[in-house]
């Protein structure tokens, strides 16, 4: 079964498997959105069935919520959980300081709220997402529909004074209509090329009228689990302030069950 998977899918499964093992009985867990997070949700479902793991989970999107219910995870709202022990989520890009670009799947607002309402955030990813400087992946910015063109113009005006390579933005679409988030908002994707100062850019973007939130996650992630196609996962921990790296090997044959219903 695993021989039919792409190297990227094998790497995603590896990261998801390793990170899901950080979840302990009785935890309140934030569940991310995206392809790598989906592997993690399925792994938690397997642990619930095989080990009797008991958790409550707060999903970051409607599609993650549905998947979690499908695999037997007890889903609640963040208001019900109030605070979380751990959030596990993917990233579109990350750098050495674990600053992230997120929002490629359109769930950046709920993802950021859930991550910041957690004692710890673990990022799950493959090695291709690691960059020296953020910005090659378009930066998502969630905006309210009212006056979005004016908001877009203001955002581009702000970019002219930022340490970025490009200043173009585009409205994300779904077919011939604007893509709509779970909160009923639109997304502008900023083609920046390079982001010299992510912290400054995140602060400035959120001051633009009409902007709800941006996809820069600064000082939120504590650890990153990087999966590799050979079943090796690399853990980098910044929670102590000093980067620590460890590795672990998993048996990719265990992936047969998790992929069997895809």
Question: What are the catalytic residues?
Answer: 111
Q: According to the annotation, is 103 in a ligand binding site?
A: yes
Q: How far is CA 89 from CA 28, 37, 64, 77, 253, in A?
A: 14, 6, 11, 17, 24
Tell me the C-alpha distance between 17 and 53, whole Å: 15
21 is in an annotated binding site: no
With beta carbons less than 8 A apart as the criterion, state whether 93 and 64 touch.
Answer: no
DSSP state of 164: B
How, if at all, do strands 100-101 and 93-94 pair?
A: antiparallel
Determine whether the annotation assigns residue 170 to a binding site.
no
Q: Is 135 helix (H, G, I), strand (E, B) or coil?
A: coil
Give the residue among 140, 128, 125 at the shortest CA–CA distance from 88: 125
Question: Was 72 annotated as part of a binding site?
Answer: no
Q: Is 91 annotated as a binding residue?
A: yes
* Residue 34 assigned as binding residue: yes
The DSSP annotation for 170-217 comes to EE-EETTEE---TTS-EEEEEE-S-BS-HHHHHHHHTTSTTEEEESEE
Q: Is 36 annotated as a binding residue?
A: yes
Tell whether 105 is in a known binding site: yes
Give the tokens for residue 45.
């479902």
- Residue 112 is labelled as binding a ligand: no
**Annotated binding site for substrate: which residue ranges?**
33-36, 89-92, 102-105, 129
Annotated binding site: 33-36, 89-92, 102-105, 129
């Amino acid at each position: 079964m695993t021989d039919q998977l792409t190297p990227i899918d094998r790497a995603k499964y590896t990261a998801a498997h390793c990170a899901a093992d950080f979840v302990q009985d009785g935890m309140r867990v934030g569940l991310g959105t995206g392809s790598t997070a989906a592997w993690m949700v399925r792994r938690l479902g397997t642990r619930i069935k095989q080990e009797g793991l008991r958790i409550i989970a707060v999903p970051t999107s409607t599609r993650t919520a549905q998947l979690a219910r499908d695999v037997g995870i007890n889903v609640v709202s963040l208001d019900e959980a109030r605070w979380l022990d751990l959030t596990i989520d993917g990233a579109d890009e990350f750098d050495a300081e674990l600053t992230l670009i997120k929002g490629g799947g359109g769930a950046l607002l709920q993802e950021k709220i859930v991550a910041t309402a957690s004692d710890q955030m673990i990022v799950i990813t493959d090695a291709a997402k690691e960059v020296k400087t953020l910005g090659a992946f378009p930066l998502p910015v969630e905006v309210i529909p009212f006056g979005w063109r004016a908001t877009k113009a203001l955002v581009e005006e702000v970019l002219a004074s930022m340490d970025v390579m490009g200043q173009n933005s585009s409205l994300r679409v779904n077919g011939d209509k604007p893509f709509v988030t779970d909160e009923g908002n639109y997304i502008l994707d900023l083609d920046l090329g390079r982001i010299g100062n992510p912290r400054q850019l995140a602060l400035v973007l959120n001051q633009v009228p009409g902007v709800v939130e941006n996809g820069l996650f600064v000082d939120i992630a504590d650890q990153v689990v990087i999966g590799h196609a050979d079943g090796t996962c690399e853990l980098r921990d910044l929670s102590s302030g000093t980067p620590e790296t460890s590795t672990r090997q998993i048996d990719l044959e265990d992936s047969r069950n998790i992929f069997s219903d895809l």
